[in-house]
């Protein structure tokens, strides 16, 4: 156990802060995996988005000389 905070290296002191800040990313992901209703809604959104991207026409630009 460390009695004096100055004995910690900056890298070691950074680890708990990174774990705490990463919870903003992990909590929603874990909730989406555990909640079936949200998971199904996200799957539907991804399917709908991918269909729109596949059907979107490609613009062809031609120049008349």
pLDDT score, position 6: 73
Give the whole-angstrom CA distance, residue 59 versus residue 16: 50
pLDDT score, position 36: 93
Report pLDDT digits (tens) over 1-58. Answer: 566 767 778 888 899 889 889 988 898 889 888 999 988 998 999 999 888 776 555 6
**22 lies in some domain:** yes
Contact between 32 and 39 under an 8 Å Cβ cutoff? The reply is yes
pLDDT score, position 13: 84
* Domain encompassing residue 38: 9-55
**37 lies in some domain:** yes
Give the whole-angstrom CA distance, residue 37 versus residue 54: 26
Overall pTM surpassing 0.85 (yes/no)? no
**4 lies in some domain:** no
pLDDT score, position 37: 94
Residue count of the chain: 65
How many distinct structural domains can be found in the chain?
1
């Amino acid at each position: 156990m460390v009695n004096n905070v100055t004995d910690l290296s900056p890298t070691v002191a950074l680890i708990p802060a990174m774990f705490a800040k990463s919870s903003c990313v992990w909590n929603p992901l874990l909730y989406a995996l555990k909640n079936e209703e949200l998971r199904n809604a996200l799957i539907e959104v991804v399917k709908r988005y991918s269909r729109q991207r596949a059907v979107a026409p490609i613009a062809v630009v031609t120049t008349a000389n």
